């Protein structure tokens, strides 16, 4: 809803009349099983995409990382809002890795976060957690956990920045493809409805990141990550991560043309 409110505000600012239509998804309703147990990527998007096809809504607002790897032939991402903080956040009292105790208990149901956290700190005990952001924070207290790993942008959008002990640099934990990006999806050939909201740099980054994770077969069960970041001196850095049954590859490539970097990164990862 916080993401939908932001998109609606942007559209209203351009003279559009907007009504928000709340929808529930499989990922919302099943807050007990892990993402891997429910199914592949798309559990937070399928019902919203169907409402778009049925004409019940005209714009679907997604966290870009929840979209399936393959684009639907009848739908299109018409715009990406300017990217928010893509970093993962340590939602707990520690203010840095040095303050994280040995054997700390940390909750996440993300295969990507689980894999990268185990690589960074093998001593940490990782426990599954589901539910919305407020529920996960409550479970942290109820279960006596040291932290919950969440997307920093989600906590920021909900006014819960104070819950963040520290944010994890992408050089340490590569974010999910599309993390921090709000994607506005429309029926194909209706992109003009939202095109004026598009942030071109964010769209380019999302396209590159998704190209990498799509090729690697990323989803709820395979730990993969890709992140594109602009360089201070110009150009881009594209980083990637894949964990195949415990065999981990981490690579990054740089260049001026972001569209050319996914192929180079995939070759390096392979």
**What is the pLDDT at residue 71?**
82
Query: Are 70 and 184 in the same domain?
Result: yes
User: What average pLDDT does the structure give for the chain?
Assistant: 92
**Terminal alpha carbon distance of the chain:** 39
For residue 38, what pLDDT band results from cuts at 50, 70 and 90? very low
Residues 259 and 135 in one domain: no
- Percentage of the chain with pLDDT > 90? 83
For residue 233, name the pLDDT band (cuts at 50, 70, 90): very high
Q: Which residue has the tokens 């995939």?
A: 266
Q: Do 181 and 256 share a structural domain?
A: yes
Looking at 140, 168, 196, the residue that finishes a domain is 168
257 is catalytic: no
Give me the CATH number covering residue 256.
Answer: 3.40.190.10
Of the residues 5, 28, 66, 85, only one is catalytic, namely 66
User: Do 75 and 96 fall within a single domain?
Assistant: no
- Residue 140 and residue 245 in one domain: no
Domain end among 127, 145, 168: 168
Q: What is the pTM of this model?
A: 0.89
CA atoms lying within 13 Å on the CB side of residue 264: 14
Same domain? 121 vs 249: no
- DSSP code for 129: -
In the structure encoding, which two tokens stand for residue 147, read together?
């932290």
* Boundary (domain end) residue, out of 168, 187, 222: 168
Residue 39 has pLDDT above 80, yes or no: no
Question: How wide is the angle at C-alpha 210 spanned by C-alphas 205 and 211, nearest 5°?
Answer: 100
Distance CA(89)–CA(41), nearest Å, equals: 21
Are 188 and 159 part of one and the same domain? no
Of residues 173, 171, 165, the one with CA closest to residue 115: 173
Q: 183 and 71 in one domain?
A: yes
Q: Please determine, for residue 179, whether its predicted confidence score (pLDDT) is greater than 70.
A: yes
pLDDT tens across 114-142, in order? 999 999 999 999 999 978 899 999 999 99
Same domain, 263 and 181: yes
Average pLDDT on 29-46 reads 58
CA atoms within 13 A on the CB side of 34: 15
Is residue 31 over pLDDT 60?
A: no
**Number of domains the chain is built from:** 2
The dihedral formed by the CA atoms of 265, 236, 151 and 219, expressed in degrees to the nearest 10: -20
Distance of CA 38 to the CA centre of its chain: 18
| Unique residue bearing structure tokens 């894999």 | 115
**Beta-strand relationship, 105-107 and 60-63:** unpaired
Let me know whether 182 and 265 are in one domain: yes
Q: Does one domain contain both 121 and 239?
A: no
Say which residue, 263 or 35, is predicted with more confidence.
Answer: 263
105 and 143 together in one domain: yes
* pLDDT over threshold 90, residue 226: yes
Range of the domain at 52: 2-84+177-269
Compute the distance between CA of residue 17 and CA of residue 215 in angstroms, rounded to an integer: 39
């Amino acid at each position: 809803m916080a993401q939908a409110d932001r998109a609606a505000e942007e559209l209203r600012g351009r003279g559009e009349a907007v009504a928000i239509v709340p929808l529930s998804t499989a990922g919302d309703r099943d807050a007990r099983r892990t993402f891997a147990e429910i199914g592949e990527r798309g559990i937070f998007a399928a019902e919203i995409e169907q409402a778009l096809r049925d004409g019940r809504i005209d714009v679907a607002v997604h966290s870009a990382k929840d979209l399936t790897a393959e684009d639907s032939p009848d739908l299109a991402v018409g715009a990406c809002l300017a990217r928010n903080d893509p970093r993962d956040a340590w939602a707990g009292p520690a203010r840095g890795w040095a303050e994280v105790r040995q054997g700390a208990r940390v909750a996440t149901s993300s295969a990507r976060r689980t894999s990268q956290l185990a690589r960074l700190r093998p001593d940490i005990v990782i426990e599954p957690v589901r539910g919305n952001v407020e529920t996960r924070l409550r479970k942290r207290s109820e279960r006596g956990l040291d932290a919950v790993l969440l997307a920093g942008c989600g906590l920021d959008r909900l006014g819960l920045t104070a819950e963040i002990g520290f944010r994890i640099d992408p050089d340490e934990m590569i974010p999910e493809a599309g993390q921090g990006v709000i994607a506005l999806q429309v029926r194909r050939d209706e992109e003009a409805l939202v095109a004026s909201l598009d942030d071109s740099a964010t769209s380019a980054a999302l396209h590159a990141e998704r190209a990498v994770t799509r090729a690697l077969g990323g989803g709820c069960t395979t730990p993969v990550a890709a992140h594109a970041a602009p360089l201070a001196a110009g150009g881009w850095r594209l980083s990637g991560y894949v964990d195949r049954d415990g065999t981990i590859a981490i690579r990054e490539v740089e260049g001026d043309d972001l569209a050319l970097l996914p192929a180079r990164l995939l070759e390096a990862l392979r």
